[in-house]
């Protein structure tokens, strides 16, 4: 930490102390007893729950190492954005969370990635993928009706209760902010929807599996600004229930939707920080060069 940063941190601490004294200073009556305890609890920062934790994670495609010694935590009900230049390993790392890399020949992972404290390699991949859903860059609805897109996953899991499935369709489409637009044509082909609607359907299809974590790989890069805005608003709503990891090339999108940002370069995690801090005071020169467009 350089002198400038130390000074900044010291001033931040002083401001926080001053802030904690502010009530008394402005002459409000002192809060005592149980309300004081409640007040104190309200002010105390709630420790963030770790959902995923990567420790010394390396990934190889054959002899080529794509990820180098990644150490990172993903926090519950937060949106974490992965940014970095093309080929830096952010999508590769994203695919580690639901073991999609297992499907690639010659791909080898060393180190550890823990989900809820359990090594993901010890979890049945089918079960893991039902807890960790994924939304891709290109909207990819199944060539079937809107309703069947939503019920496909649960049916594959053996759920046949028609009443439950009917309600699931409504709830999931509501969560995907799509229900009001398609409620009169649930039996129509999903392929007839617009690109933005198809992507929201994919999100609804994902939440129908009642996941814990949603992975999004550039979910808006194929969409227009209006559809993008709707998806971003949806992400803000979804994070109340789900933990979201999003890969994006759009840095303004990262600043708008994410709580944490991880910057990757050449397969290495260069910096991981709260988004507001990362985009205003990046600690690493490589991060600053990238976000300010001086990256070469």
Residues that bind another protein (CB under 8 A): 4, 7-8, 11-12, 14-15, 251-252, 279-282, 288, 291-294
CB of 74 to another protein, least distance (A): 23
Nearest distance, CB of residue 282 and another protein, angstroms? 6
d(Cα 51, Cα 245) in Å, to the nearest integer? 11
**CB of 16 or CB of 56, closer to another protein:** 16
Q: How far is the CB of 96 from another protein (least distance, A)?
A: 28
Angle at 288 between CA 282 and CA 294, to 5 degrees: 175
243-247: strand order across its sheet: 118-119, 107-115, 50-61, 64-75, 268-274, 260-265, 79-83, 243-247, 213-217, 132-135
Distances in Å between the Cα of 89 and the Cα atoms of 60, 99, 170, 249, 291 are: 11, 15, 37, 13, 17
E-assigned strand segments in the chain: 50-61, 64-75, 79-83, 107-115, 118-119, 132-135, 213-217, 243-247, 260-265, 268-274
CB of 81 to another protein, least distance (A): 14
Distance in Å, CB of 196 to another protein, minimum: 23
Pairing between β-strand 243-247 and β-strand 213-217 as defined by DSSP bridges: parallel
**CB closer to another protein, 23 vs 277:** 277
């Amino acid at each position: 930490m350089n002198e400038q940063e130390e000074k900044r941190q010291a001033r931040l601490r002083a401001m926080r102390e001053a802030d904690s004294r502010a009530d008394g200073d402005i002459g409000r009556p002192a809060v005592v007893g149980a309300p004081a305890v409640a007040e104190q609890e309200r002010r105390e920062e709630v420790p963030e729950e770790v959902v995923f934790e990567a420790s010394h994670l390396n990934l190889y495609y054959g002899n080529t190492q794509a990820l180098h010694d990644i150490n990172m935590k993903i926090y519950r009900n937060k949106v974490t954005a992965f940014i970095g230049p093309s080929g830096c390993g952010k999508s590769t790392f994203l695919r580690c969370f639901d073991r999609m890399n297992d499907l690639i020949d010659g791909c080898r992972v060393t180190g550890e990635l823990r989900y809820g404290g359990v090594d993901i390699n010890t979890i049945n991949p089918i079960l893991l993928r039902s807890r960790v859903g994924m939304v891709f860059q290109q909207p990819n609805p199944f060539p079937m009706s809107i309703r069947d897109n939503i019920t496909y996953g649960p049916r594959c899991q053996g759920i046949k209760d028609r009443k439950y499935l009917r309600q699931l369709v409504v709830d999931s489409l509501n969560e995907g902010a799509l229900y009001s637009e398609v409620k009169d044509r649930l039996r129509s082909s999903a392929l007839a929807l617009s690109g933005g609607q198809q992507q929201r359907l994919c999100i609804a299809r994902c939440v129908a599996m009642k996941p814990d974590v949603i992975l999004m790989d550039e979910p808006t890069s194929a969409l227009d600004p209006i559809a993008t805005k709707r998806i971003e608003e949806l992400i803000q709503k979804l994070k109340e229930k789900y933990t979201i990891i999003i890969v994006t090339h759009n840095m303004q999108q990262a600043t708008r939707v994410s709580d944490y940002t991880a910057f990757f370069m050449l397969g290495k995690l260069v910096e991981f920080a709260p988004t507001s801090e990362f985009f205003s005071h990046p600690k690493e020169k490589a991060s600053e060069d990238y976000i300010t467009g001086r990256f070469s």
